Amino acid sequence: MVKEIRPLGWVVLAVLVIDTVLLAALELFFLPLRLDGTLLPLAGWIPVPVTVLVAVLTTPLLVSSAGRLVHPRAAFAPLVVWVLTVLALGLFGPGGDQVLIQDWRALLLLAGGALPAAMALGGSLAVKPERKRP
């Protein structure tokens, strides 16, 4: 028996997708933060990819929430939207600027957002096999 998505489920999915786009944009724009004394304390210009930690925590949460609240097959939407938003804004950002910095922090952001979310997606799609009746 296939569970269909209710109309309220579409609203919940839209809210989760909008939240995904906003989080991906903020994680991308604040990726170059440094301990330079302006916004964060002064500690020798050390790069601090705090937004990677945010991505590690929020993307799996969004994926599992979509799978639990909407439909197990809808769980892929936040992951796909997050990756597309980071790549689109990062490579073709506002005004044609390249926002995705070209160093280890960009790779860390992509891995930190996509890998835990992919694991959560696998957990959402995992279904107990039905027992066949004799």
- DSSP bridge partners of 47: 34
d(C-alpha 1, C-alpha 40), whole Å: 53
Report in angstroms the alpha-carbon separations of 99 from 3, 94, 116, 118: 41, 8, 23, 24
Amino acid (one-letter) located at 134 = P
Q: What is the pLDDT of residue 34?
A: 72
Q: What is the pLDDT of residue 100?
A: 85
In three-state secondary structure terms, 47 is strand
d(C-alpha 116, C-alpha 127), whole Å: 19
Q: What is the pLDDT of residue 87?
A: 93
Q: What is the pLDDT of residue 131?
A: 52
Q: Which two tokens stand for residue 4?
A: 């269909």
- DSSP bridge partners of 104: none
Q: What are the start-end ranges of the E strands in the chain?
A: 34-36, 42-47
Q: What is the pLDDT of residue 6?
A: 77
d(C-alpha 47, C-alpha 51), whole Å: 11
Q: Which two tokens stand for residue 65?
A: 């929430």
Mean pLDDT by 10 residues, the chain (134 residues): 70 95 94 71 71 94 92 92 94 82 90 95 76 54
Q: Which pTM value belongs to this model?
A: 0.83
Q: Please, are residues 63 and 19 in contact by the beta-carbon 8 Å criterion?
A: no
How far is it between the farthest Cα atoms of the chain? Answer: 71
